[in-house]
Structure 1
């Protein structure tokens, strides 16, 4: 309730104590008056507490200035438009594009958005851990695929089955190349996505340390959207379980091996025939 009362005070003319009427006069001291009230005052000497720091204050002691409204010159961004989800100034609420919008004190939105950003960062960190696990699995899949399973089988019958070995090896190599190309490409995409996500987490943490509430809120909305989008890996392919398996190229030459080992010179009647 106190926050809303403070917001209403920002929209009240200090002379007539009514909501500002258009046009509004902005004094050098940064106080606002209705045009009529300004004309009724014979000498515009500021008798109100100044809303800005004294010019004599050393630069090292001044707080970082709030962002200023791009539409109303000299107006600080001091309220938050709930309808459009953007910080704005009091004049935008009274006369500008946010006239019919729901607004709230910037301080009350600050903590809410900061909590949302903190949750978004935590979600991204967890998502990055999951993707790191996927990257490790893909790297292991590459190592498994690169192992040739058929060469030892062929070596036993090399001289007899050279032609057959060549044909089957070509099939294995073709599938190996196809799988390795796919896995390496997918691994690169996950790696790039992970790297981008880590940068986004770093950016989010830096924004969490932003002391100026209005500037924090200006940066938070697009950052939250990027964090949400980055958590999705729907655009990345998922490798089917057992994709790296090459067992379908296994061979069994036990029977043929025994037959070859039994080969010998023809003897006796067999030789005469």
Structure 2
């Protein structure tokens, strides 16, 4: 019995919740549907969105149909043969074809009146019951209806609800796909914009680097000019000092000459005028402060830049709307 029960569960259509009715179609995802149920799902799906496609109610795999619709889907003859063998195995003793589930549940009995079959439906309380409960029991004042009519009504209502939910699930799956695509687009746009922003900043860095290099070259040129001038002047003063030391040495030697005639013959020039042939360094000549920069104004301007203004404008004009 457990084996038969498990087998029957495998032969239940996920749409109508009954055993597959022939013809049985197989979807690309290898799940099965009654052709009628597949057509019902496709009709609901098609009434909501365009396109010859719907999603498998078991795994949500998208089924793309050709111009033949669900009639273009391949029949699953293996499942149909299994259904036939199952029904033959489940035949009743009288030879009539009764499914295992029907045979197991063909005589549900009332819990209160154990010998009475459940054959009516209490509309007031929404439960199936027996005739004795309606005549003498707890449901004698209730509104009742034939269980067969209620069964057909509830079954149709459930089938329609399932089909509608399948259609709604398909729509939600479409919205999810749109949201996922939006995420991918945002990520791609973000990467592209970061690249553009980095390029703009690199251009600004390049301009600043050029200005820095230009000013550095000017400072270096003036530095070398002044240093060379000072070194040349130092050399001149050194040469003058060397000459002056020689004069001093000659004067000292002359001072030691005891012979007056010889002393007077030596001419020693001790009146050299430095102002006559040597330059002087002006005060502040070594100062380089005139090469100064003040970026306070530019820094304030840079800190005040709103790099997101364009993005805010773009985002303000973009709106995503997904209606369920």
TM-score range, shorter chain: 0.3 to 0.5
Higher-RCO chain (CA-CA 8 Å, sequence separation at least 6): 1
**TM-score, length-normalised on structure 2?**
0.32
**TM-score, length-normalised on structure 1?**
0.37
- The structure that has the greater radius of gyration is 2
